[in-house]
């Protein structure tokens, strides 16, 4: 049986994981031991979950820096929903997040134990060092095809129309931050059923993601994620 929160996990990952970079990135520290905590709430301000990230390993090779990030998501009751590890590469011009890393390793293991086969394809998420208001960013996507005898399922998540909208100062419980605001359209499709929504991402130099909001197609706020702890 496919977990009912599968789509939510994919959207969460592809929307939020544009992480670290350190010396070769303006926007994210890339130091082992750095940790981030984000609190997700609904449009009424009720907490729906907590996401904790920590950098567990940093490697330098061939002029590139690669960080291993550990991620843990718990629901509003403190119950662990999933954990995952993924890698990001900083090239000096910015970062790339491997689309394969967008699929939680825990979910891959679970599906494998169930006898399912998974085929993952897509386009890496890119975030350049040099951002400016009005700048267009490249699209990103991930597609996962899941199959076993008598059953086939496809999950696809696209990020399109990525654009730097403006600069804005944001205040959270973690502090005050000067941010670039990146807007994008998101579409998820599972077995022919499509869901679309808009999101905005606030990025601060030296910190990374400070806030993200997602909206329905009519512009109504769906949920909010804010940086609530940051430690280097």
Domains and CATH numbers, the chain: 6-231 (2.40.360.20)
- Cβ count within 10 A of residue 135: 14
Q: SS3 for 7?
A: helix
Q: What is the pLDDT of residue 2?
A: 40
Condensed to tens digits (0 to 9), the pLDDT of residues 23-64 reads 466 776 778 889 999 999 998 999 999 999 998 998 888 778
Condensed to tens digits (0 to 9), the pLDDT of residues 125-177 reads 778 888 999 999 988 888 888 887 777 888 888 889 999 999 999 999 999 99
Q: What percent of the chain has pLDDT over 90?
A: 29
C-alpha 204/C-alpha 176 separation (Å) is 10
Q: Is 15 buried (19+), middle (13-18) or exposed (0-12) by CB count in 10 A?
A: buried
**Closest alpha carbon to 107 in 97, 120, 95, 123:** 120
pLDDT at residue 18 above 50?
A: no
pLDDT at residue 20 above 80?
A: no
Q: Sign of torsion, CA 40 184 133 91?
A: positive
Condensed to tens digits (0 to 9), the pLDDT of residues 114-134 reads 777 878 888 877 788 889 999
Are residues 86 and 69 in contact, defined by beta-carbon separation less than 8 angstroms? yes
Write down the mean pLDDT value for the chain. 81
Q: Where are the alpha helices (DSSP H) in the chain?
A: 6-16, 105-113
Listed in sequence order, the residues at least 6 apart from 36 whose beta carbon sits closer than 8 Å to its beta carbon are 52, 53, 54, 208, 209, 227, 229, 230
């Amino acid at each position: 049986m496919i977990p009912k929160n599968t789509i939510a996990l994919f959207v969460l990952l592809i929307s939020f994981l544009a992480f670290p970079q350190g010396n070769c990135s303006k926007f994210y520290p890339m130091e082992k031991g750095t940790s981030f905590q984000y609190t997700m709430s609904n449009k009424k301000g009720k907490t729906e979950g907590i996401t904790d990230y920590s950098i567990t390993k940093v490697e330098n090779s061939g002029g590139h820096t690669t960080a291993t990030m550990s991620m843990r998501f718990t629901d509003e009751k403190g119950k662990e929903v999933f954990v995952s590890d993924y890698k990001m590469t900083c090239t000096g011009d910015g970062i790339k997040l491997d689309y394969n890393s967008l699929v939680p390793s825990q979910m891959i293991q679970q599906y494998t134990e169930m006898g399912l086969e998974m085929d993952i394809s897509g386009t890496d998420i890119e975030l350049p060092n040099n951002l400016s208001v009005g700048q267009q960013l490249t699209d990103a996507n991930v597609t996962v095809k899941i199959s076993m005898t008598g059953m086939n399922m496809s999950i696809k998540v696209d990020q399109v129309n990525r654009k730097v909208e403006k600069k804005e100062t944001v205040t959270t419980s973690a502090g005050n931050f000067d941010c670039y605001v990146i807007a994008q359209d998101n579409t998820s499709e599972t077995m022919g059923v499509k869901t679309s929504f808009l999101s905005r991402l606030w990025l601060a130099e030296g910190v990374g993601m400070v806030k993200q909001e997602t909206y329905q197609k009519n512009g109504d706020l769906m949920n909010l994620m804010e940086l609530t702890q940051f430690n280097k």
